Structure 1
Amino acid sequence: MEDKNISNEIILNYELLKLTSVPSPATPKSSASHLSPNPTEPVSLCKCLLSPEPSKEEIISERKKMMFSAVFRTESYLRERRIPELIRFLLTKILARDPDSNVSTYLSNLLDDCMIFRAGLGVAPVLFEDRHLKAIVNSFDPSQRGWLTVGQVRRAFMTLGLTPDDNLLDRTPTDIVFQSLKEKQELELFNLLAAGMKPLRDNESEP
């Protein structure tokens, strides 16, 4: 009988405990726990925030330095002497020569004429002869007015690959245009042949 009373008392206390106990609200997890990274995972950084690695200085050998120096001296010599322009001039003259003439003989005579002209003793072996210049001037004056405008004079110079003068008349006579083209062509050829040469003294002779 006592055991039954004890059991009933235990059950009653359990029921009272269930009725009187207030369920505690669920503790919300801290948002910081979700934001905090896992300490075991690595944190990646943007490469733009990292300092660049110091570049290793390239060591140039003495052989390369000698090669670079030789190339620089060669390019400077060719540029100072205007060798590429001279080669283009010679090739153009060879292409415009009489096809029946020998190339080696023509080139040898052409070089002699260039040397003589540079010394101021011969005729300029220019690319365009007088008949070519007259044809160019007449093409800009088909009505034979006897003069050319500023734009026509500039186009005539540019057609021959020459640089026109800065001060041009509104109406330049055709004979003056022809003479200007001739003198400008000879002057540019002389500057090409004399490129890189030092001025000679009075008591010195050209080698």
Structure 2
Amino acid sequence: MNYPLPLQSVVDELGRFPGVGPKSAQRIAFWLMRQPAEDVARLAQSLERMTTELSFCERCCNIAQTGGLCPICADDRRDQATICVVENPPDVMAVERSGAFHGTYHVLHGVLNPLEGVTPDRLRIQELLQRLHGPVKEVILCFNSNVEGDATAMYLSRLLQVPGLVVSQPASGLPVGGDLEFADDLTLGRAIDGRRILVD
């Protein structure tokens, strides 16, 4: 038996969220029904503002105000010669919290995963290659320590064999299978400071 259509449509939409199964979607939908109408309206407005006012940075593909650069790319005090390549925007925040990196970023919006249909053309790799025409001297490949992250780093290290470009990777110390966004600031900072060169 399905719920009334307005409720079922909310359950169906919530069920599309990563990590939210049918039971969790139902719980969230029923929780929303119990909230004051103004709270639910505020949530709906926040979601709408997010989709209309935010986009991705024209340069690094991180989150930015629509039609512009993110605050990091717009900051001329950042080291434009060094790019830290990460999987997703939360990884940018994790590296920033470490305080060890003062360059710019490039967000791929995923990692290679052929089993799920994520091939190089589905990632923001072409945008990264275009940035190499500028003052870039080093690219740091900073991915989660898992099969997909390692495969992406290996693929990019082969692709980025450009004269005069150093390609490096954070030193060991990050837990195998662990996500960057959950790594503690000190460990992540030390891993970036002690990065190892893959291509010179």
Between Structure 1 and Structure 2, whose CA radius of gyration is higher? 1
Name the TM-score, length of structure 2 as normaliser: 0.21
Which structure dedicates a bigger proportion of its chain to strand?
2
Name the TM-score, length of structure 1 as normaliser: 0.21
Which structure dedicates a bigger proportion of its chain to helix?
1
